[in-house]
Structure 1
Amino acid sequence: MPAYFSARLTYANGIAAQGVEVRVFDRDEPGHTDDDLTLSPGFTDDLGRFQVTYDPARAQDHRLVTRTVPANPPFDWTPVQRDFLEPDPEDDFQPYLRFTYTFAGEVCTGTAPLKPRQTVFQLPEVLAKPFFPTRHGFHFVNRFSGLFLPFSLPFFPDLGNPSAIYGLCGGMSAAALDFFLVNRVVPQTSEVPPNGTPLQRYLYKRQLDSFGRLGEVILRFIEWMGLPPDSPQGLFKRTLEEFEKIRTRLNRFTPVPLGLVYVLWNETREIWQNHQVLATGYTRDPQNRLQIRLYDPNYPLRDDVRIEAERVPVGQGQFGLICRQWIGDSPKTLHGFFAMPYQPVIPPEELS
Protein backbone atom coordinates (compact mmCIF):
# COMPACT_ATOMS: atom_id res chain seq x y z
CA MET A 1 0.00 0.00 0.00
CA PRO A 2 1.45 3.41 -0.93
CA ALA A 3 2.65 5.68 1.85
CA TYR A 4 3.18 9.44 1.65
CA PHE A 5 5.71 11.62 3.40
CA SER A 6 5.82 15.43 3.32
CA ALA A 7 8.33 17.85 4.85
CA ARG A 8 10.55 20.83 4.08
CA LEU A 9 14.20 20.89 3.09
CA THR A 10 16.61 23.75 3.74
CA TYR A 11 20.30 24.45 3.46
CA ALA A 12 22.38 24.53 6.64
CA ASN A 13 21.70 28.26 7.07
CA GLY A 14 17.93 27.84 6.89
CA ILE A 15 17.34 28.97 3.29
CA ALA A 16 14.82 26.82 1.42
CA ALA A 17 16.43 24.26 -0.90
CA GLN A 18 14.75 24.29 -4.31
CA GLY A 19 14.61 21.63 -7.03
CA VAL A 20 15.94 18.76 -4.91
CA GLU A 21 14.87 15.21 -5.81
CA VAL A 22 13.75 13.19 -2.78
CA ARG A 23 13.50 9.39 -2.74
CA VAL A 24 12.95 6.83 0.03
CA PHE A 25 15.31 3.89 0.55
CA ASP A 26 15.62 1.07 3.05
CA ARG A 27 19.11 0.55 4.42
CA ASP A 28 20.48 -2.98 4.05
CA GLU A 29 23.49 -4.70 5.54
CA PRO A 30 26.94 -3.72 4.24
CA GLY A 31 27.60 -5.41 0.94
CA HIS A 32 23.95 -5.34 -0.10
CA THR A 33 22.23 -2.74 -2.25
CA ASP A 34 19.74 -0.57 -0.39
CA ASP A 35 16.14 -1.03 -1.49
CA ASP A 36 14.54 1.86 -3.40
CA LEU A 37 11.02 2.11 -1.98
CA THR A 38 10.05 5.11 -4.10
CA LEU A 39 6.90 5.00 -6.18
CA SER A 40 6.88 8.71 -7.05
CA PRO A 41 9.85 10.91 -6.09
CA GLY A 42 9.37 14.29 -4.50
CA PHE A 43 10.83 17.55 -5.80
CA THR A 44 11.19 20.56 -3.52
CA ASP A 45 9.35 23.73 -4.51
CA ASP A 46 10.34 27.36 -3.89
CA LEU A 47 9.59 26.96 -0.18
CA GLY A 48 11.57 23.72 0.08
CA ARG A 49 8.41 21.63 0.47
CA PHE A 50 8.17 18.12 -0.98
CA GLN A 51 5.99 15.02 -0.93
CA VAL A 52 7.34 11.58 -1.81
CA THR A 53 5.27 8.43 -2.37
CA TYR A 54 6.78 5.07 -1.44
CA ASP A 55 5.85 1.45 -0.73
CA PRO A 56 7.16 0.06 2.59
CA ALA A 57 6.48 -3.49 1.34
CA ARG A 58 9.41 -3.14 -1.04
CA ALA A 59 11.74 -3.13 1.94
CA GLN A 60 11.36 -6.83 2.76
CA ASP A 61 14.52 -8.68 1.74
CA HIS A 62 14.50 -12.37 0.87
CA ARG A 63 17.01 -15.13 1.41
CA LEU A 64 17.65 -18.49 -0.25
CA VAL A 65 16.81 -21.35 2.12
CA THR A 66 17.53 -25.05 1.48
CA ARG A 67 14.92 -27.43 2.86
CA THR A 68 14.33 -31.19 2.75
CA VAL A 69 10.91 -31.92 1.25
CA PRO A 70 9.11 -34.85 -0.47
CA ALA A 71 10.01 -35.22 -4.11
CA ASN A 72 6.45 -35.33 -5.50
CA PRO A 73 3.74 -35.94 -2.93
CA PRO A 74 1.50 -37.90 -2.83
CA PHE A 75 3.13 -40.05 -5.52
CA ASP A 76 6.75 -39.87 -4.43
CA TRP A 77 7.70 -39.24 -0.83
CA THR A 78 11.41 -39.56 -1.36
CA PRO A 79 13.21 -36.81 0.63
CA VAL A 80 15.04 -34.33 -1.57
CA GLN A 81 16.70 -30.97 -0.95
CA ARG A 82 15.30 -27.92 -2.67
CA ASP A 83 16.00 -24.16 -2.50
CA PHE A 84 13.28 -21.69 -1.55
CA LEU A 85 13.23 -17.87 -1.60
CA GLU A 86 11.71 -16.71 1.69
CA PRO A 87 11.37 -13.36 3.53
CA ASP A 88 14.40 -12.67 5.69
CA PRO A 89 13.18 -12.42 9.32
CA GLU A 90 16.40 -10.64 10.33
CA ASP A 91 15.90 -7.79 7.87
CA ASP A 92 15.29 -4.56 9.84
CA PHE A 93 13.22 -1.76 8.34
CA GLN A 94 15.50 1.29 8.26
CA PRO A 95 13.95 3.84 5.89
CA TYR A 96 15.84 6.98 4.96
CA LEU A 97 15.51 9.90 2.58
CA ARG A 98 18.00 10.40 -0.21
CA PHE A 99 18.39 13.93 -1.58
CA THR A 100 19.90 14.54 -5.01
CA TYR A 101 20.72 18.13 -5.93
CA THR A 102 23.17 20.43 -7.67
CA PHE A 103 25.36 22.70 -5.56
CA ALA A 104 28.18 24.89 -6.88
CA GLY A 105 27.89 23.15 -10.24
CA GLU A 106 28.29 19.64 -8.84
CA VAL A 107 25.73 16.89 -8.36
CA CYS A 108 25.48 16.04 -4.65
CA THR A 109 23.61 13.48 -2.60
CA GLY A 110 22.61 13.57 1.03
CA THR A 111 20.67 11.30 3.32
CA ALA A 112 18.62 11.57 6.50
CA PRO A 113 16.65 9.00 8.51
CA LEU A 114 12.95 9.11 7.69
CA LYS A 115 11.29 10.16 10.93
CA PRO A 116 7.51 10.49 10.54
CA ARG A 117 7.23 13.46 12.92
CA GLN A 118 10.16 15.43 11.55
CA THR A 119 8.95 18.35 9.44
CA VAL A 120 12.20 20.06 8.41
CA PHE A 121 15.41 18.50 7.08
CA GLN A 122 18.71 20.22 6.32
CA LEU A 123 21.40 19.77 3.71
CA PRO A 124 24.99 20.18 4.96
CA GLU A 125 25.90 23.01 2.59
CA VAL A 126 25.54 26.72 3.32
CA LEU A 127 23.91 28.71 0.53
CA ALA A 128 25.83 31.96 0.15
CA LYS A 129 22.91 34.36 -0.23
CA PRO A 130 23.49 37.82 1.28
CA PHE A 131 20.59 39.89 2.61
CA PHE A 132 20.27 43.42 1.20
CA PRO A 133 17.74 45.77 2.82
CA THR A 134 17.07 47.45 -0.53
CA ARG A 135 16.14 44.07 -2.01
CA HIS A 136 14.85 41.98 0.88
CA GLY A 137 13.52 44.53 3.38
CA PHE A 138 10.07 46.11 3.51
CA HIS A 139 9.62 49.34 1.57
CA PHE A 140 7.63 51.23 4.19
CA VAL A 141 8.78 52.85 7.41
CA ASN A 142 8.10 51.31 10.81
CA ARG A 143 5.38 53.74 11.88
CA PHE A 144 1.88 52.44 12.61
CA SER A 145 -1.12 54.45 13.80
CA GLY A 146 -2.90 53.61 17.04
CA LEU A 147 -1.80 51.89 20.24
CA PHE A 148 0.26 48.72 20.09
CA LEU A 149 -1.76 47.00 22.83
CA PRO A 150 -5.51 46.50 22.27
CA PHE A 151 -6.27 47.65 25.84
CA SER A 152 -5.46 50.59 28.10
CA LEU A 153 -2.32 50.53 30.18
CA PRO A 154 -2.48 51.36 33.89
CA PHE A 155 -0.47 54.33 35.03
CA PHE A 156 2.98 53.64 36.45
CA PRO A 157 5.05 56.46 37.92
CA ASP A 158 7.96 57.53 35.70
CA LEU A 159 7.00 55.04 33.00
CA GLY A 160 5.41 57.57 30.69
CA ASN A 161 2.56 57.01 28.29
CA PRO A 162 2.88 55.31 24.89
CA SER A 163 2.01 57.58 22.00
CA ALA A 164 -0.66 56.94 19.40
CA ILE A 165 2.09 55.91 16.99
CA TYR A 166 3.71 52.53 17.51
CA GLY A 167 6.35 50.42 15.85
CA LEU A 168 6.57 46.78 14.87
CA CYS A 169 10.33 46.72 14.44
CA GLY A 170 10.70 43.19 15.81
CA GLY A 171 7.84 41.93 13.68
CA MET A 172 9.19 43.57 10.54
CA SER A 173 12.70 42.21 11.17
CA ALA A 174 11.42 38.68 11.75
CA ALA A 175 9.00 38.84 8.81
CA ALA A 176 11.69 40.08 6.41
CA LEU A 177 13.82 37.12 7.46
CA ASP A 178 10.82 34.79 7.02
CA PHE A 179 10.42 35.92 3.40
CA PHE A 180 14.18 35.75 2.80
CA LEU A 181 14.52 32.16 3.99
CA VAL A 182 11.77 30.86 1.70
CA ASN A 183 13.01 32.80 -1.35
CA ARG A 184 9.95 35.02 -1.54
CA VAL A 185 9.78 38.74 -2.24
CA VAL A 186 8.30 40.90 0.50
CA PRO A 187 5.10 42.80 -0.38
CA GLN A 188 6.20 45.71 -2.54
CA THR A 189 3.94 48.36 -1.03
CA SER A 190 5.56 51.57 0.19
CA GLU A 191 2.50 52.43 2.30
CA VAL A 192 2.30 51.39 5.95
CA PRO A 193 -0.36 48.65 6.08
CA PRO A 194 -3.48 49.84 7.93
CA ASN A 195 -4.55 48.14 11.13
CA GLY A 196 -6.49 44.94 10.56
CA THR A 197 -5.07 44.19 7.11
CA PRO A 198 -3.46 40.76 6.57
CA LEU A 199 0.06 42.21 6.43
CA GLN A 200 -0.40 44.31 9.57
CA ARG A 201 -1.81 41.32 11.45
CA TYR A 202 1.11 39.18 10.34
CA LEU A 203 3.67 41.78 11.43
CA TYR A 204 1.83 42.24 14.72
CA LYS A 205 1.93 38.50 15.43
CA ARG A 206 5.63 38.33 14.58
CA GLN A 207 6.19 41.28 16.92
CA LEU A 208 4.59 39.33 19.75
CA ASP A 209 6.72 36.31 18.81
CA SER A 210 9.83 38.47 19.06
CA PHE A 211 9.14 39.13 22.75
CA GLY A 212 9.79 35.46 23.50
CA ARG A 213 7.94 33.24 25.91
CA LEU A 214 6.35 35.13 28.79
CA GLY A 215 7.86 38.37 27.54
CA GLU A 216 11.41 37.27 28.34
CA VAL A 217 12.88 39.73 25.84
CA ILE A 218 11.15 42.67 27.52
CA LEU A 219 12.66 41.55 30.81
CA ARG A 220 16.04 41.34 29.14
CA PHE A 221 15.76 44.90 27.87
CA ILE A 222 14.88 45.99 31.42
CA GLU A 223 17.90 44.15 32.80
CA TRP A 224 20.32 45.55 30.24
CA MET A 225 19.03 49.10 30.73
CA GLY A 226 20.16 48.86 34.35
CA LEU A 227 23.67 47.55 33.71
CA PRO A 228 26.73 49.78 34.09
CA PRO A 229 28.37 50.20 30.68
CA ASP A 230 32.04 49.55 31.34
CA SER A 231 32.25 47.16 34.28
CA PRO A 232 33.58 43.56 33.99
CA GLN A 233 29.97 42.31 33.83
CA GLY A 234 28.41 45.38 32.26
CA LEU A 235 26.85 46.29 28.94
CA PHE A 236 30.07 46.39 26.92
CA LYS A 237 31.20 42.98 28.17
CA ARG A 238 27.84 41.37 27.51
CA THR A 239 27.63 42.94 24.06
CA LEU A 240 30.96 41.34 23.13
CA GLU A 241 29.68 37.99 24.39
CA GLU A 242 26.54 38.38 22.28
CA PHE A 243 28.56 39.22 19.19
CA GLU A 244 30.61 36.06 19.60
CA LYS A 245 27.35 34.09 19.67
CA ILE A 246 25.97 35.61 16.48
CA ARG A 247 29.27 35.80 14.59
CA THR A 248 29.20 32.18 13.43
CA ARG A 249 25.60 32.56 12.24
CA LEU A 250 26.50 35.64 10.22
CA ASN A 251 29.48 33.76 8.78
CA ARG A 252 26.96 31.22 7.45
CA PHE A 253 24.86 33.93 5.75
CA THR A 254 22.17 33.59 8.42
CA PRO A 255 20.76 37.00 9.39
CA VAL A 256 20.17 37.45 13.12
CA PRO A 257 17.48 39.63 14.77
CA LEU A 258 19.05 41.96 17.35
CA GLY A 259 17.73 43.95 20.27
CA LEU A 260 19.35 47.40 20.43
CA VAL A 261 19.66 49.11 23.81
CA TYR A 262 19.20 52.80 23.06
CA VAL A 263 18.41 54.07 26.56
CA LEU A 264 19.41 53.37 30.17
CA TRP A 265 17.42 53.58 33.39
CA ASN A 266 19.22 56.75 34.43
CA GLU A 267 17.95 58.38 31.22
CA THR A 268 14.33 57.21 30.99
CA ARG A 269 11.89 54.51 32.08
CA GLU A 270 10.41 54.21 28.59
CA ILE A 271 11.42 50.71 27.57
CA TRP A 272 9.83 51.09 24.15
CA GLN A 273 12.49 53.59 23.14
CA ASN A 274 14.75 50.60 22.51
CA HIS A 275 14.70 48.92 19.13
CA GLN A 276 14.90 45.69 17.12
CA VAL A 277 16.72 45.22 13.83
CA LEU A 278 18.14 42.46 11.64
CA ALA A 279 21.92 41.94 11.47
CA THR A 280 22.78 40.76 7.96
CA GLY A 281 26.57 40.46 7.98
CA TYR A 282 29.76 42.02 9.28
CA THR A 283 33.31 42.99 8.38
CA ARG A 284 36.41 43.45 10.52
CA ASP A 285 39.18 45.89 9.61
CA PRO A 286 42.93 45.45 10.33
CA GLN A 287 42.50 47.35 13.62
CA ASN A 288 39.89 44.75 14.69
CA ARG A 289 37.03 47.25 14.46
CA LEU A 290 33.68 45.82 13.47
CA GLN A 291 31.02 46.96 11.06
CA ILE A 292 27.76 45.04 11.43
CA ARG A 293 25.36 45.60 8.54
CA LEU A 294 21.70 46.07 9.46
CA TYR A 295 18.23 46.03 8.06
CA ASP A 296 16.57 48.69 10.20
CA PRO A 297 12.78 48.95 9.71
CA ASN A 298 12.98 52.61 10.72
CA TYR A 299 15.11 53.32 7.64
CA PRO A 300 13.68 51.33 4.72
CA LEU A 301 15.49 50.80 1.42
CA ARG A 302 18.90 51.67 2.85
CA ASP A 303 21.98 49.50 2.70
CA ASP A 304 24.11 51.99 4.66
CA VAL A 305 22.72 51.37 8.16
CA ARG A 306 25.25 49.68 10.40
CA ILE A 307 26.77 49.26 13.84
CA GLU A 308 30.40 50.22 14.31
CA ALA A 309 32.09 48.66 17.32
CA GLU A 310 35.53 48.11 18.79
CA ARG A 311 36.98 46.17 21.69
CA VAL A 312 37.79 48.10 24.86
CA PRO A 313 39.09 47.00 28.27
CA VAL A 314 36.44 46.90 31.00
CA GLY A 315 38.56 45.92 34.00
CA GLN A 316 39.88 42.72 35.58
CA GLY A 317 41.50 41.73 32.30
CA GLN A 318 38.12 41.63 30.56
CA PHE A 319 37.11 43.25 27.28
CA GLY A 320 33.85 44.52 25.87
CA LEU A 321 32.43 46.19 22.78
CA ILE A 322 31.72 49.89 22.65
CA CYS A 323 29.41 50.60 19.75
CA ARG A 324 27.42 53.19 17.88
CA GLN A 325 24.80 52.91 15.19
CA TRP A 326 25.22 54.80 11.94
CA ILE A 327 22.53 55.75 9.43
CA GLY A 328 24.67 56.77 6.51
CA ASP A 329 26.86 59.54 7.94
CA SER A 330 24.60 60.22 10.93
CA PRO A 331 25.51 58.60 14.27
CA LYS A 332 22.99 57.35 16.82
CA THR A 333 23.71 56.47 20.44
CA LEU A 334 23.78 52.73 21.07
CA HIS A 335 24.71 51.23 24.43
CA GLY A 336 24.68 47.57 23.46
CA PHE A 337 22.90 44.79 21.58
CA PHE A 338 21.89 41.16 22.00
CA ALA A 339 20.48 38.36 19.84
CA MET A 340 16.70 38.03 19.78
CA PRO A 341 14.84 34.69 19.74
CA TYR A 342 13.68 33.66 16.29
CA GLN A 343 11.77 30.72 14.86
CA PRO A 344 11.10 30.82 11.10
CA VAL A 345 7.51 31.00 9.87
CA ILE A 346 6.29 30.57 6.30
CA PRO A 347 4.46 33.80 5.41
CA PRO A 348 0.82 33.33 4.32
CA GLU A 349 0.30 33.18 0.57
CA GLU A 350 -2.19 36.06 0.75
CA LEU A 351 0.64 38.47 1.57
CA SER A 352 2.42 37.97 -1.76
Structure 2
Amino acid sequence: MGEATVTGAAAMGFRPSECAFRFTNSFPRQPVLRARVMGLGSGIPIGDASRGLCGGMVFAVRDLFEAGRKPPSDATHPPPGSPLYRYLVRRLFQSWDLPRGVLRYYELQRAPDTDVVRKLRRRDGLGRITLVDEWPRVRLELDSGRLAPLGIIAARSRDPRKLGLNHQVLAYAYELRGSTITVRVYDPNTPLHRADDVEITFDTADPAGPVSFTHNIAIGGRPVRGFFHSAYRWSDPSPIPA
Protein backbone atom coordinates (compact mmCIF):
# COMPACT_ATOMS: atom_id res chain seq x y z
CA MET A 1 0.00 0.00 0.00
CA GLY A 2 1.21 3.50 -0.79
CA GLU A 3 1.66 6.21 1.77
CA ALA A 4 -1.34 8.39 2.61
CA THR A 5 -1.50 11.75 0.88
CA VAL A 6 -0.46 14.62 3.14
CA THR A 7 -2.19 17.98 2.87
CA GLY A 8 -2.44 20.98 5.15
CA ALA A 9 -2.53 24.72 5.56
CA ALA A 10 -1.16 27.41 7.84
CA ALA A 11 -1.37 31.07 8.73
CA MET A 12 1.81 32.08 6.94
CA GLY A 13 4.45 33.76 9.05
CA PHE A 14 2.99 32.76 12.40
CA ARG A 15 5.17 31.02 14.96
CA PRO A 16 4.31 31.20 18.68
CA SER A 17 7.97 31.67 19.59
CA GLU A 18 8.03 34.86 17.50
CA CYS A 19 4.43 36.09 17.47
CA ALA A 20 3.12 35.30 20.97
CA PHE A 21 3.74 36.85 24.37
CA ARG A 22 7.05 36.21 26.12
CA PHE A 23 5.25 35.35 29.38
CA THR A 24 2.96 32.42 30.14
CA ASN A 25 -0.57 32.34 31.49
CA SER A 26 0.57 32.06 35.12
CA PHE A 27 -0.55 35.22 36.85
CA PRO A 28 -0.44 35.70 40.64
CA ARG A 29 -3.60 35.56 42.71
CA GLN A 30 -5.21 38.96 42.21
CA PRO A 31 -8.56 40.34 40.97
CA VAL A 32 -9.01 40.30 37.21
CA LEU A 33 -10.60 43.71 37.54
CA ARG A 34 -12.23 45.99 40.09
CA ALA A 35 -15.72 47.34 39.57
CA ARG A 36 -15.91 50.97 40.59
CA VAL A 37 -18.71 51.62 43.07
CA MET A 38 -19.25 55.04 44.61
CA GLY A 39 -18.12 55.09 48.23
CA LEU A 40 -16.15 51.82 48.07
CA GLY A 41 -12.69 53.23 47.45
CA SER A 42 -10.73 50.80 45.28
CA GLY A 43 -13.90 49.05 44.09
CA ILE A 44 -15.24 45.51 44.19
CA PRO A 45 -12.74 42.80 43.16
CA ILE A 46 -13.99 40.52 40.36
CA GLY A 47 -12.39 37.26 39.26
CA ASP A 48 -9.01 35.73 40.00
CA ALA A 49 -6.15 36.17 37.53
CA SER A 50 -4.40 33.07 38.90
CA ARG A 51 -7.11 31.00 37.18
CA GLY A 52 -5.83 32.30 33.87
CA LEU A 53 -6.25 34.91 31.16
CA CYS A 54 -5.87 32.40 28.31
CA GLY A 55 -8.73 33.72 26.19
CA GLY A 56 -7.44 37.27 26.47
CA MET A 57 -3.94 36.20 25.48
CA VAL A 58 -5.21 34.18 22.51
CA PHE A 59 -7.37 37.01 21.18
CA ALA A 60 -4.65 39.61 21.76
CA VAL A 61 -2.08 37.52 19.87
CA ARG A 62 -4.40 37.24 16.88
CA ASP A 63 -5.13 40.98 17.09
CA LEU A 64 -1.40 41.75 16.99
CA PHE A 65 -0.69 39.30 14.17
CA GLU A 66 -3.45 40.69 11.97
CA ALA A 67 -2.18 44.21 12.69
CA GLY A 68 1.29 43.19 11.52
CA ARG A 69 2.79 43.78 14.96
CA LYS A 70 5.12 41.74 17.12
CA PRO A 71 4.25 41.28 20.81
CA PRO A 72 6.07 43.29 23.49
CA SER A 73 9.57 41.98 24.18
CA ASP A 74 9.11 42.16 27.97
CA ALA A 75 8.95 38.66 29.49
CA THR A 76 7.53 39.83 32.81
CA HIS A 77 3.81 39.62 33.51
CA PRO A 78 2.04 42.97 33.09
CA PRO A 79 0.93 44.42 36.43
CA PRO A 80 -2.76 45.08 37.15
CA GLY A 81 -3.85 48.42 35.77
CA SER A 82 -1.16 48.54 33.08
CA PRO A 83 -2.31 49.08 29.46
CA LEU A 84 -1.43 45.50 28.44
CA TYR A 85 -3.13 43.96 31.48
CA ARG A 86 -6.29 45.97 30.85
CA TYR A 87 -6.26 44.90 27.20
CA LEU A 88 -5.88 41.22 28.11
CA VAL A 89 -8.75 41.43 30.58
CA ARG A 90 -11.02 43.14 28.06
CA ARG A 91 -10.23 40.53 25.42
CA LEU A 92 -10.68 37.75 28.00
CA PHE A 93 -14.27 38.79 28.60
CA GLN A 94 -14.85 39.20 24.86
CA SER A 95 -13.45 35.71 24.24
CA TRP A 96 -16.22 34.30 26.43
CA ASP A 97 -18.78 35.71 23.96
CA LEU A 98 -21.28 36.17 26.80
CA PRO A 99 -23.68 34.54 27.21
CA ARG A 100 -23.38 32.23 24.19
CA GLY A 101 -19.75 31.25 24.60
CA VAL A 102 -20.05 30.26 28.25
CA LEU A 103 -23.22 28.30 27.50
CA ARG A 104 -21.36 26.50 24.70
CA TYR A 105 -18.57 25.45 27.08
CA TYR A 106 -21.18 24.23 29.57
CA GLU A 107 -23.16 22.36 26.91
CA LEU A 108 -20.07 20.58 25.61
CA GLN A 109 -18.55 19.69 28.98
CA ARG A 110 -21.84 17.91 29.76
CA ALA A 111 -21.91 16.06 26.43
CA PRO A 112 -21.11 12.33 26.30
CA ASP A 113 -17.91 11.30 24.54
CA THR A 114 -19.84 9.02 22.16
CA ASP A 115 -23.17 9.22 20.35
CA VAL A 116 -26.09 8.00 22.45
CA VAL A 117 -29.05 6.43 20.62
CA ARG A 118 -32.34 5.97 22.44
CA LYS A 119 -35.66 5.12 20.80
CA LEU A 120 -34.27 5.84 17.34
CA ARG A 121 -33.11 9.30 18.40
CA ARG A 122 -29.43 10.18 18.51
CA ARG A 123 -27.75 12.53 20.94
CA ASP A 124 -24.49 13.60 19.35
CA GLY A 125 -21.38 12.90 21.36
CA LEU A 126 -18.59 15.42 21.76
CA GLY A 127 -16.50 13.52 19.23
CA ARG A 128 -19.08 14.00 16.48
CA ILE A 129 -19.70 17.62 17.44
CA THR A 130 -15.97 18.32 17.18
CA LEU A 131 -15.31 16.44 13.94
CA VAL A 132 -18.51 17.19 12.01
CA ASP A 133 -19.58 20.62 13.27
CA GLU A 134 -16.51 22.40 14.63
CA TRP A 135 -13.45 21.09 12.78
CA PRO A 136 -14.74 22.21 9.33
CA ARG A 137 -15.09 25.77 10.68
CA VAL A 138 -11.56 25.68 12.05
CA ARG A 139 -10.21 24.19 8.82
CA LEU A 140 -11.90 26.90 6.74
CA GLU A 141 -10.10 29.57 8.78
CA LEU A 142 -6.73 27.86 8.39
CA ASP A 143 -7.28 27.15 4.68
CA SER A 144 -7.91 30.89 4.31
CA GLY A 145 -4.63 31.70 6.04
CA ARG A 146 -6.27 32.93 9.24
CA LEU A 147 -5.63 31.98 12.85
CA ALA A 148 -8.46 30.13 14.62
CA PRO A 149 -9.23 30.43 18.36
CA LEU A 150 -10.32 27.12 19.89
CA GLY A 151 -12.32 26.49 23.03
CA ILE A 152 -10.80 23.33 24.51
CA ILE A 153 -13.17 21.05 26.42
CA ALA A 154 -11.22 19.33 29.18
CA ALA A 155 -13.95 19.04 31.82
CA ARG A 156 -16.56 16.29 32.02
CA SER A 157 -19.16 17.59 34.43
CA ARG A 158 -22.64 19.03 34.91
CA ASP A 159 -21.19 21.28 37.60
CA PRO A 160 -20.81 24.83 36.19
CA ARG A 161 -18.05 25.43 38.72
CA LYS A 162 -15.88 23.14 36.57
CA LEU A 163 -16.00 25.53 33.62
CA GLY A 164 -12.60 26.87 34.69
CA LEU A 165 -11.03 23.50 33.84
CA ASN A 166 -11.55 24.21 30.15
CA HIS A 167 -9.07 26.24 28.13
CA GLN A 168 -8.44 28.36 25.03
CA VAL A 169 -5.69 28.02 22.43
CA LEU A 170 -4.99 29.43 18.96
CA ALA A 171 -4.72 27.12 15.94
CA TYR A 172 -2.26 28.25 13.26
CA ALA A 173 -1.61 25.19 11.08
CA TYR A 174 -2.79 21.67 10.39
CA GLU A 175 -1.63 18.55 8.59
CA LEU A 176 -3.98 15.90 7.21
CA ARG A 177 -2.52 12.45 6.61
CA GLY A 178 -5.22 9.99 5.58
CA SER A 179 -7.89 10.39 8.25
CA THR A 180 -5.44 11.66 10.90
CA ILE A 181 -5.26 15.37 11.59
CA THR A 182 -2.58 17.20 13.56
CA VAL A 183 -3.37 20.78 14.54
CA ARG A 184 -0.56 23.05 15.70
CA VAL A 185 -1.62 25.55 18.34
CA TYR A 186 -0.34 28.42 20.43
CA ASP A 187 -0.97 27.49 24.06
CA PRO A 188 -0.67 30.42 26.51
CA ASN A 189 0.27 27.96 29.27
CA THR A 190 3.34 26.57 27.48
CA PRO A 191 6.75 28.26 27.99
CA LEU A 192 8.25 30.03 25.00
CA HIS A 193 11.07 27.53 24.43
CA ARG A 194 8.49 24.80 23.73
CA ALA A 195 5.79 27.01 22.22
CA ASP A 196 6.30 25.87 18.62
CA ASP A 197 5.87 22.18 19.49
CA VAL A 198 2.30 22.13 20.85
CA GLU A 199 -0.13 19.93 18.91
CA ILE A 200 -3.50 18.19 19.03
CA THR A 201 -3.85 14.99 16.98
CA PHE A 202 -7.06 13.10 16.27
CA ASP A 203 -8.62 10.72 13.75
CA THR A 204 -11.77 11.53 11.78
CA ALA A 205 -12.63 7.96 10.75
CA ASP A 206 -15.35 7.34 13.36
CA PRO A 207 -17.28 10.45 14.47
CA ALA A 208 -19.63 8.29 16.56
CA GLY A 209 -16.76 8.00 19.00
CA PRO A 210 -15.09 7.75 21.25
CA VAL A 211 -12.61 10.03 19.48
CA SER A 212 -9.12 10.06 20.98
CA PHE A 213 -7.35 13.42 21.11
CA THR A 214 -3.64 13.20 21.89
CA HIS A 215 -2.03 16.48 22.87
CA ASN A 216 0.76 18.20 24.78
CA ILE A 217 -1.18 21.30 25.86
CA ALA A 218 -0.16 22.36 29.37
CA ILE A 219 -3.46 21.76 31.18
CA GLY A 220 -2.23 19.73 34.12
CA GLY A 221 -2.56 16.32 32.49
CA ARG A 222 -6.27 16.72 31.79
CA PRO A 223 -7.56 15.20 28.55
CA VAL A 224 -8.74 17.10 25.53
CA ARG A 225 -12.25 15.72 25.03
CA GLY A 226 -13.02 17.96 22.07
CA PHE A 227 -13.02 21.58 20.95
CA PHE A 228 -15.09 24.24 19.24
CA HIS A 229 -14.34 27.26 17.09
CA SER A 230 -14.54 30.37 19.28
CA ALA A 231 -16.30 33.44 17.89
CA TYR A 232 -13.71 36.15 17.20
CA ARG A 233 -13.85 39.77 16.08
CA TRP A 234 -10.67 41.76 15.54
CA SER A 235 -9.83 44.58 17.95
CA ASP A 236 -7.27 47.32 17.37
CA PRO A 237 -4.27 46.42 19.58
CA SER A 238 -2.85 49.96 19.65
CA PRO A 239 -3.26 50.14 23.48
CA ILE A 240 -0.63 47.37 23.74
CA PRO A 241 2.81 48.97 24.12
CA ALA A 242 5.48 48.10 21.58
Q: Per the shorter chain, which TM-score range?
A: 0.7 to 0.9
1:133 partner letter: P
Provide, for residues 275-324 of structure 1, a one-character-per-residue CA deviation record: whole Å limited to 9, x for no partner: 011011100123x2111000000014210011111124355xxx785323
Alignment of 1:213-252 (within 5 A): 214-231=98-115, 233-240=124-131, 241-252=133-144
Give the number of equivalent residue pairs.
212
Q: Quote the RMSD (CA, aligned, Å).
A: 2.5
Alignment of 1:36-47 (within 5 A): none
Does 1:261 pair with 2:153?
yes
Answer with 1 or 2: which has the greater Rg.
Answer: 1
Inter-partner Cα distance in structure 1 for 2:114 and 2:240: 48
Larger strand fraction of residues: 1
Distance 1:268 1:211, change over 3 A: closer
1:272 partner letter: G
Inter-partner Cα distance in structure 1 for 2:130 and 2:180: 14
Provide, for residues 16-68 of structure 1, a one-character-per-residue CA deviation record: whole Å limited to 9, x for no partner: xxxxxxxxxxxxxxxxxxxxxxxxxxxxxxxxxxxxxxxxxxxxxxxxxxxxx
Aligned counterpart, 1:188:
73
Provide, for residues 197-217 of structure 1, a one-character-per-residue CA deviation record: whole Å limited to 9, x for no partner: 1100001001111111x3211
Runs of 4+ in structure 1 off by over 4 angstroms are none
Structure 2 segments unaligned to the other structure (5+ residues): 1-9, 35-43, 116-121
Aligned counterpart, 2:13:
130
Provide, for residues 110-138 of structure 1, a one-character-per-residue CA deviation record: whole Å limited to 9, x for no partner: xxxxxxxxxxxxxxxxx962311001011
Distance 1:169 1:321, change over 3 A: same
Candidates 188, 196, 205, aligned match of 1:297: 188
Distance 1:279 1:350, change over 3 A: closer
TM-score by length of 1: 0.55
Aligned counterpart, 2:37:
none
Identity of aligned residues (%): 33
Inter-partner Cα distance in structure 2 for 1:321 and 1:137: 30
Candidates 245, 266, 272, aligned match of 2:164: 272
SS in 2 for 1:280: strand
Structure 1 segments unaligned to the other structure (5+ residues): 1-126, 154-161
Aligned counterpart, 1:324:
214
1:244 partner letter: P
Are 1:239 and 1:320, in contact at CA under 8 Å, matched by a contact in 2? no
Which structure has the higher relative contact order (CA within 8 Å, separation 6+)? 2
Larger helix fraction of residues: 2
Are 1:221 and 1:271, in contact at CA under 8 Å, matched by a contact in 2? yes
Provide, for residues 250-298 of structure 1, a one-character-per-residue CA deviation record: whole Å limited to 9, x for no partner: 0122010110001111688421111011011100123x21110000000
Distance 1:296 1:283, change over 3 A: same
Alignment of 1:310-321 (within 5 A): 310-315=203-208, 321=211
Inter-partner Cα distance in structure 2 for 1:321 and 1:208: 30
